[in-house]
Amino acid sequence: MHAHPHAPRDPLTRFSVSMPRPLLQKLDAMAKARGQHNRSQTIAELVRGGIVEHETATGQGIVVGTITLVYDHHRHHLQEALTHIQHDHCREIISTLHVHMDHHNCLEVLVVRGRAENLRRLADQLLTTRGVKHGKLTVTTSGRNLV
Interacting residue ranges for Ni ion, rule: CB under 5 A: 73, 100, 106
Tell me, rounded to whole angstroms, the distance of Cα 35 from its chain centroid.
22
Q: Which residue lies nearer to Ni ion by CB, 73 or 120?
A: 73
Work out how close the CB of 106 gets to Ni ion at its nearest, in angstroms, rounded to a whole number.
Answer: 3
Q: Which residue lies nearer to Ni ion by CB, 78 or 146?
A: 78
Work out how close the CB of 74 gets to Ni ion at its nearest, in angstroms, rounded to a whole number.
Answer: 10
CB distance 69 to 126 below 8 Å: yes
Q: Which helix (H) or strand (E) holds 97?
A: strand 93-100
Q: Which residue in the shown chain puts its C-beta closest to Ni ion?
A: 106
Work out how close the CB of 138 gets to Ni ion at its nearest, in angstroms, rounded to a whole number.
Answer: 21
Q: Which residue lies nearer to Ni ion by CB, 6 or 104?
A: 104
Work out how close the CB of 100 gets to Ni ion at its nearest, in angstroms, rounded to a whole number.
Answer: 4
AA letter at 103: H
CB distance 132 to 69 below 8 Å: yes
Kindly report the number of other CB atoms within 10 A of residue 91's CB atom.
Answer: 9
In terms of phi and psi (left: phi > 0; alpha: psi -120 to 50; beta: otherwise), the region of 11 is beta
Q: Which residue lies nearer to Ni ion by CB, 56 or 129?
A: 129
